[in-house]
Amino acid sequence: MSLPVPLRLIGRLVPAMLAVVGLAGLFLALIVLTDGARSGLAAWLTVLGAGIVAALWRGRGRSLRGRLWPFAPLIVAAALTASVCIPAFPTTREYPPDLSFVTTRHWSLSTGSRVAVYRYPPAADGPRHPTPLVYLHGGPVRSISVLDHRFLRLLAGQGYDVYAYEHPGGGRSDLLPMDQYTISRSERDLAAFIDRLGKGPVDVLGFSAGAIVLTRALATPATAARVHRAIIAEPGPMDGPTALISGRQGRPSARDLAPALSGARATHVPRYAVAFGLIQLGLLSPDTGLITQAEGVNAFQAADLGGDTASAYCARDADRIPAEDTAENFSFNAAASLRIRQTIRDSPSIAPKLSRSRTPAMLMIAECSSQVRQWQTAVLTAATIERTQYMPGVGHRMWNGLGDNNERAAAVITAFLQGKTSPLRNYPTRADISDFLRDHG
C-alpha cells in the first residue's frame, strides 16, 4: 500500500532540507579552512562541485524527474551560500565626509602612518595654558565620536590647545596592512605624533583603548619623556597578564536595560554576519580573504555594536542615552581592533617598566564602569599615580553630555593639569584597593 501524499512529500522534504543544511555546513567549514579565500568563492565552488557529484550519484538509474530532484537542495544551498560571497558594500575604503565644525588635516608620521588630525585652539578671551593637550580616543580603531569632539571643544574653551588624531585604520585616517595593527605600533604612532607636533612634551588624555596606549607609553622611557602629564581614563587591560584577569565591574550599566540601537546593521547581511562572527570567534583571521579590510569598515554600522554602547552608561541613564555619533561620522574597523586587542593579550607584563616611570599621572575610574575593576587597579598598583578620581554618576563614557557630566570631567582634568586641588578626593589610593574592589565593584 502506497503512503499518503503528505507523508511522501515529507519523506522527500526532510532529506532535502538535511542536504541543504549539510551543504551550508560544508561551505562554512571550507570558509574557515581556506580563511575565506577569494571572497569565499574557493569554498563555494568546492561545495558546488561536491554537490553536483552527489546529486548525479543519487540520481543514477532513475527517471528524468528522479535524476533532477537531487539538484533541488543543491540549487537552494548554492543560492544561500552565494550571498556570503557577494559584496554589498564597496571593497575600497570610503572615508567619512569632513565635519562641519572642525578642519580635518592629514599628517604623515615617521612610522609610516597617515592620520587624520583635528585641532581645537584655545579660546581667545581667557588664559591660555602653555602645554598642548593631545587626546587619544577609544575604540581602538574607530572614528572620534561627535560626543568626544564636543568635549574637546569644552577643554579648548578653558584655554587648552587641544589636538586629536584618529588611529590608523579608523575614521579619516589611512588603513594599514592588517599585520601592522599592533599595540606597539599605536604607541610608536603617539611618539611620532608628538614629534610631528613639534612643541616639546605634551599633556595626554587617553580614554579606554587610548588609555591603554598611554599607559604603555609611560612604560617606555623614550615615549614617556615626550609626555608632560598623563591622564589615564577608564583603561582596559594594559598587557597580557592583566588581560587574563576576570573580576567584578562597576555599578550596573544600562547594557540590558536600554532600548536596542535603531538603524541598519551589517550583521543582518549574511556576508558580514558570517565574516564578523567568525572573526570574533577566532575562526577567521582579521586579514581574512572573505572581505577586504576596507569593505569591513564600510559595512560596519553603529547598530552592530549592540549592547556595547549601552554598557558605557549607568543603569539609571538607560532611557536617556544620547546619540554618540552621526551616521556620516561613524566608522569602526572591527578586524583591526580585534588584531590590536590580540597583541595586547599576547604581550608580556609591563608592570616592572611602568613602576619606573616618573611622569605625573592621574587615573580616572567611573562608578558604572564596564571595565573589569582589576584592569584599572593594576595601573594604580604599577604606575606612579599622583591622583585617582572616582567619578560618581557616570559610566565608562564619562563625558557624555548628560547633565553636568562634561563639566565635572573637565573640572578634574583641568585641576590635575594645572596642579590645583581637585573637586574630588584622591580615591582610591593604593592602600584603598582592597576596600575599593569590595565596595565599588
Rounded CA separation 9/72 (Å): 14
pLDDT of residue 66: 61
pLDDT of residue 261: 83
pLDDT above 80 for 414:
yes
DSSP state of 178: G
**Residue 391 and residue 408 in contact, taking contact as beta carbons nearer than 8 Å:** yes
Nearest 10 degrees: Cα torsion 252, 256, 258, 260? 150
Helix (H) / strand (E) containing 363: strand 361-368
Q: What band does 1 get if pLDDT is binned at 50, 70 and 90?
A: very low
- For 5-32, write each residue's pLDDT tens digit: 454 455 456 666 887 888 899 999 999 9
Cell digits for 424? 574630588
Rounded CA separation 189/184 (Å): 9
Whole-prediction pTM value?
A: 0.93
**Residue 52 and residue 73 in contact, taking contact as beta carbons nearer than 8 Å:** no
Rounded CA separation 312/307 (Å): 9
- For 393-402, write each residue's pLDDT tens digit: 999 999 999 9
**Residue 21 and residue 74 in contact, taking contact as beta carbons nearer than 8 Å:** no
Q: Give the pairing of strands 105-108 and 114-120.
A: antiparallel
Q: Which amino acid is at 81?
A: T
Please count the CA atoms within 13 angstroms of the CA of 2 that sit on its side-chain side: 5
